[in-house]
Structures are given as C-alpha cells and as structure tokens.
A = this chain, B = another copy of it.
Amino acid sequence: MADQNVYDDPVFFANYKKLRASEGSANACVEQPAMFSLCPPAAGLSVLDLGCGSGETCRAFAEMGAARVVGLDLSENMLAEARRQTQAENVSYVQMSMSGLSTLHDTFDLVVSSLAVHYVADFERFAREVYGLLKPGGVFVFSQEHPLTTAPKDGGRWVRDWRGRIRHWALSDYAEPGMRKTRWFVDGVEKYHRPFSAVINALVSAGFSVEKAAEPMPDADTVRRFPKYAKYRHKPDFLLMRVKK
C-alpha cells in the first residue's frame, strides 16, 4: 500500500494552511497546549518530531533549548515550508514516511508527534519502531484524533435539536478498527480508527510504560471567545498520551 500524501495535494495544502493559521483553531486552543504540557522540559534534549509538517513544533523545541531537533514528514510541500521558516542550525528535516522508521538509524531523548499517528495503518509496528528510536528512559508524547472522532464510518455528525442546539454526537462503529475514508478539503483522506484499548495495548506491547493520558478540553475563556468549542463537553476531539521507554 502506498503511503498517503494528501498534504502534497494543492487544494488540500492551500486549505490546510488557512485552517492552521486561523485564530482560534482547535490546534492552537486545545491540542498544542495539551501536547506541550505533557512534554518534559526540552532544554538539552535531542528531539524527533514525527509528522512535523511546516516545522512549528520543531522550532518551538529549538527555542526551548533542545540540543538537536529532527523533523520528519512525508510531504515535500510541508518540508519546503518548514525549511523556509527555520533559521536554527540545530533543526534538520528528513523526508520519510512514518511507516518506515526502522531505516532511521538514530536515537532521541524525546519523540513527539502532533496529530499524525491516525494516518499510520500499523500502529503496533509503529509503536515498536518509536520504542527503538528512543534512548533508555526516553519519552514519547503524541496527540491523535480522538477515537470517538475517528470511529464513525460515515464521518460522524453532531445531532441538533429543532433550535439548532447540539444535543449529542452520533457515535457508531467504535469497536471496529480500520481505515476510514473521509472528506477533509479533498475526498478520500485516509485515517485509521483504533479503539482506546488498542492504542494502550500497542504501546504496552512495544515495551512502553504508560505515564499519562489526556482528552483535553478548551478552558472556559476559550469557550467564551469561541463558542463552537462548547460541544467538546460531549466529545473531545483529541487524545494524547505520554509513555516512557
């Protein structure tokens, strides 16, 4: 199976850039703060960022004093953008699929991955490969789309009452892991759904100790400014884990 590379589709890429740049994006308000709060202090660490995109996280780690940062992504578009925006000399980028990590002969203190692992088909193999990329005592922190978001084969939907107020999330297919094709700017974006237990068990089987799980909510102030996030109380959009070698 060819690795999906929707980020090199021009329509997708243009829309994605717009989304990430928008004030009050779910990434900026919810996912990124949760992600960084799970990470150990970066000063002096060697860091690998899996699915680094345009290098935002890599640059943040360099600014926080990481000794060395490697960003890995499959998308040429993304890496070109990343290189354009990065001055720091201890940040480098590698074009590589997240399903080929065994060819990366290097080890790190910290591996992070922001909203990318739901594109990985074989999460058990992936977890073993990340384990192999960590030094003893090293930490892996990742965020992914929440299993409640990836579950429905029809893409899922919010059900509203006659006034248009959200009442519930229409949850289906949660217990059936596998590929989900969804429309996200373009047709046929492929993601992989895994129930919570499958995520945990793959990490434990790879040898990791589970240290923390998070299903972050926007804070009250964010909900006041962006009322669209009130619905997260019914279903969070992100799941994050911190695990240790």
Residue numbers of A with Cβ under 8 A of B are 148, 152, 159, 167-176, 195-197, 200-201, 204, 209-215, 217, 232-236, 239
Q: Give the distance to chain B from A245, nearest Cβ to Cβ, in Å.
A: 14
Q: Give A208's nearest chain B residue, CB to CB.
A: B210
CB atoms of A196 and B215 under 8 A apart: yes
Q: Give A176's nearest chain B residue, CB to CB.
A: B233
Interface of A is mostly: mixed
- A170-B171, A174-B235, A197-B214 are known contacts; what are 13 more A-B pairs with Cβ within 8 Å? A148-B174, A152-B168, A159-B159, A167-B170, A167-B172, A169-B171, A171-B171, A171-B234, A173-B234, A174-B233, A195-B215, A196-B215, A209-B210
24 contacts between A and B (CB under 8 A): A148-B148, A148-B171, A148-B174, A159-B170, A167-B170, A168-B172, A170-B171, A171-B171, A173-B233, A173-B234, A174-B234, A174-B235, A174-B236, A175-B217, A175-B233, A175-B234, A196-B215, A197-B213, A197-B214, A200-B200, A200-B210, A201-B212, A204-B211, A210-B210
